Chains A and B, each alone.
Chain A
């Protein structure tokens, strides 16, 4: 039989996943070269009126919020002692680490001059700036997440002594992670408090930092459920019996907790309306959009979660988790892009260019590829045979 007549080898690298990600990553590399050789104006629609666009609104704000699963899961397991969520800790920590790493990576596209990244921390500290606080927290938390991720890598590499040293730090790292997350999740919201005349009153509030922090909790829980369902669907063969057995309990427990927090979030959003007396805006077009976000993407999935948790309906909980993740994306984009500079005429409003969207797609795809690379090699969705029962 001629070589070309042979059936394609079963483990061919030309799988649909590889082909699609290969195309996106190649296009992303071209965009990266364009960005760093031609300048930010060549690839974005940003200007002095709209200096922050999709890369901040999605890559940074959504990236940080959806990476909150790391601190939520590790604190549930190690601080609150809910050991039944233990199997979800490593995937959540890995997702958080990759999320934050990609946030920093994406920030380079926006800021440029990557060699200047250490300046705010080590050279010229702007201690009166919220951005400095966010930068310092992200720098420290990324380091914490990296250390928290290393036990899986050490198990994979066979570095038993190093692993045992890092595992001893688990509780300290978890507490440090919760403190840092509390600080910077809220500070990202507080950043927008500097622009009361630019952000629509329905989204602007003196409680913006509280909203960002509370919403990061259910964003993180929803992301853990969503990611767990994706892993169950596509990486089933990498999960051991413990992870498979505990995954339903994780989804039910986190779904119930997310529902409760989301109801509380709706409550404090209503308090925000009352404090600023913004009720009259609800009858406008912006009010309708605000209600779509609050009722359609917070209250509705909260109810879905509650019904799913009561009926033990995992499909409903998984739908609610995706819905909530989309709601968080909508909320962050509303604050940073859609309801920002809302009073400007439409000709002066910011709409991202296709190259900005392409770069964002490139960064998300990069995250998925690295996640897949790690979980197919390291003990993330299963326990390493040498360390079973060692927690």
Chain B
């Protein structure tokens, strides 16, 4: 991916970062449920 302006770079990297963060926000509660579902 080529960037010509800082705006291009920020738009691209922020876009990917928000997608990753969204995935983490969904994953982490599910992972917590996986860790604790056999607790007494």
Contacts and interface: CB of A to CB of B under 8 A. Distances in A.
A180 to B, nearest CB: 28
Size bracket of the A interface = 10 to 19
Contacts of B34: 306, 310
A274 B24 contact: no
B13 to A, nearest CB: 5
Interface of A is mostly: helix
Contact of B28 (A263, A271, A275): A263
Interface in B1-36: 1, 9, 12-13, 16-17, 20-21, 24, 27-28, 31-32, 34-36
A259 B36 CA distance: 11
Contacts of A288: none
A178 to B, nearest CB: 22
A310 B38 CA distance: 6
28 contacts: A256-B36, A259-B35, A260-B28, A260-B31, A260-B32, A260-B35, A263-B27, A264-B24, A267-B20, A267-B27, A270-B20, A271-B20, A271-B24, A274-B13, A274-B17, A275-B13, A275-B17, A276-B13, A277-B1, A277-B12, A277-B13, A277-B16, A306-B31, A306-B34, A306-B35, A310-B35, A310-B37, A310-B38
A271 B21 contact: yes
Size bracket of the B interface = 10 to 19
A256 B31 CA distance: 11
A309 interface: yes
A373 to B, nearest CB: 38
A267 B9 CA distance: 21
A263 B17 contact: no
Contacts of A263: 27-28, 31
Nearest to A306: B35
B23 to A, nearest CB: 8
A274 B20 contact: yes
A256 B35 contact: yes
Contacts of A264: 24, 28
Contacts of A306: 31, 34-35
Interface in A31-81: none
Given A263-B28, A267-B28, A310-B37, 20 more contacts: A256-B35, A260-B35, A263-B31, A264-B24, A264-B28, A267-B24, A267-B27, A270-B24, A271-B20, A271-B24, A274-B13, A275-B13, A275-B17, A277-B12, A277-B16, A306-B31, A309-B35, A310-B34, A310-B35, A310-B38
Nearest to A310: B38
Contacts of B21: 271
Contact of A277 (B9, B27, B37): B9
3 smallest beta-carbon distances between A and B, as pairs: A267-B24, A274-B17, A274-B16
A167 to B, nearest CB: 32
Nearest to B21: A271
B17 A271 contact: yes
A256 B38 CA distance: 12
Contacts of B28: 260, 263-264, 267
A270 B21 CA distance: 9
A11 B18 CA distance: 64
Contacts of B36: 256
Contacts of A267: 20, 24, 27-28
A306 B38 CA distance: 11
Contacts of B24: 264, 267, 270-271
Nearest to B38: A310
A256 B21 CA distance: 22
Interface in A251-287: 256, 259-260, 263-264, 267, 270-271, 274-277
Contacts of A256: 35-36
Nearest to B1: A277
A275 B19 CA distance: 11
